[in-house]
Amino acid sequence: MTDFQAMLRADLRGGSPYGAPQLDVPVAVNTNESSHPVPHDVVEAIAAAVTRVAPGLNRYPDREFVELRTALAGYLSVTTGCEIDREQVWAGNGSNEVLQHLVQAFGGPGRIALGFTPSYSMHPIISRGVGTTWVDGLRDASPDRFDIDTDLAVAQVREHDPHVVFLCSPNNPTGTALRLETVTAVYDAAPRAIVVVDEAYAEFARPGTPSALTLLPGRDRLVVTRTMSKAFAFAGVRLGYLAADPQLTELLRLVRLPYHLSSVTQAVALAALTHARTMLSMVEQIKASRDALVQGCTRLGLDPVPSDANFVLVGGFADARASWQHLLDRGVLVRDVGLPHHLRITAGTMQETQSVLDALALTLDQDG
């Protein structure tokens, strides 16, 4: 029998793939999707768009996805008030692919990527996947404090002198947004690095949390990534994007596969973007559901971390793994992110949040 482990690249041996369980349960609140289905009028627009492009599927799609980049630039400009130009925008099949393009171009063998854990688990996996050395930075000297200590971050950046720095705001799995001073301090401390601010959850931030997009002018090594998977309620389409200096985005063409965004993806994303207001209409409800989740968990004697996202990291479990299983036994799938005493819970519909809180109450009784 072939020993595939022996054949595998040495730096991948013993690694674990991304593995959020996909289970058929009544309340799936483990991957920070939107629980709200695509509204009917957008479904009709999507169907019409697919019908329009279907006869042309014998041809490759627009490799430069010009119309989609224009629409994404418009969306960012309107929703954030930052003037973003089409040439600043790049997109891929989910922001995961966009992040991969970044490390393919600016990381790789002999190069270093630095992030501040706990953060999005794919940052190290994507970096290592292209042979980049990953450095796990600390957010704070005390491991149970999740806000980034700016001075500590700057010191770690200076020590490792990385080629790519990952920041995540609001941060997954902790939920809190970064202060812009932290982003600029890290940027200034990393003169040879591409500094990526992963803003997958930006639309859920509480008031007074400006986007790092406001920092782009004059900072040509700064990249802000976004996705249609979360607030835009479009995870199944796989469309993520970024805004950065046009000369930087130009270089990403060196690593993308030709025609990486299918004609169907482009048409469907464009159709949804023309209904952006409808697609975003559930954001306020989701934020209310998140706040209800925080309050409910507090009432149950748990320790939720304040959140700017559509999920809450909840501390205070005696045995997080056991509680995860007991919640699943009650039809509620949450995320064990591997942090002792913590579970991460997505804010779904109000009804789902109530089901989560009911199941948590029973589970806490059971677990004592």
Cβ 337 vs Cβ 320: under 8 Å: no
Binding residues (CB under 6 A) for ligand PMP: these are: 32, 94-96, 120, 168, 172, 198, 200, 227, 229, 235, 240
Q: How far is CA 239 from CA 20, 68, 269, in A?
A: 19, 10, 7
Q: Compute CA 14 distance to the chain's CA centroid, rounded to the nearest angstrom.
A: 25
Cβ 76 vs Cβ 84: under 8 Å: yes
Measured from the CB of residue 165, what is the shortest distance to ligand PMP in angstroms? 15
Closer CB to ligand PMP, residue 180 or residue 364?
180
Residue with tokens 């224009």: 70
State the amino acid at position 131 in one-letter form: G
Closer CB to ligand PMP, residue 179 or residue 330?
179
Measured from the CB of residue 31, what is the shortest distance to ligand PMP in angstroms? 6
Q: How far is CA 329 from CA 60, 270, 294, 325, 357, in A?
A: 47, 40, 22, 6, 14
Buried b / exposed e across 331-359, counting CB within 10 Å, b at 16+?
Answer: ebbbbbbebeebbbbbbbbeebbbbbbeb
Cβ neighbors of 261 (< 8 A, separation 6 or more) are 61, 65, 68, 91, 92, 93, 239
Measured from the CB of residue 307, what is the shortest distance to ligand PMP in angstroms? 13
User: Token digits for 181?
Assistant: 């001073």
Closer CB to ligand PMP, residue 229 or residue 263?
229
Q: Which residue is nearest to ligand PMP (CB)?
A: 94
Closer CB to ligand PMP, residue 95 or residue 104?
95
Closer CB to ligand PMP, residue 228 or residue 293?
228
Closer CB to ligand PMP, residue 27 or residue 98?
98
Distance separating alpha carbons of residues 244 and 89, to the nearest angstrom: 7
Measured from the CB of residue 141, what is the shortest distance to ligand PMP in angstroms? 24
Measured from the CB of residue 91, what is the shortest distance to ligand PMP in angstroms? 10
Measured from the CB of residue 172, what is the shortest distance to ligand PMP in angstroms? 4
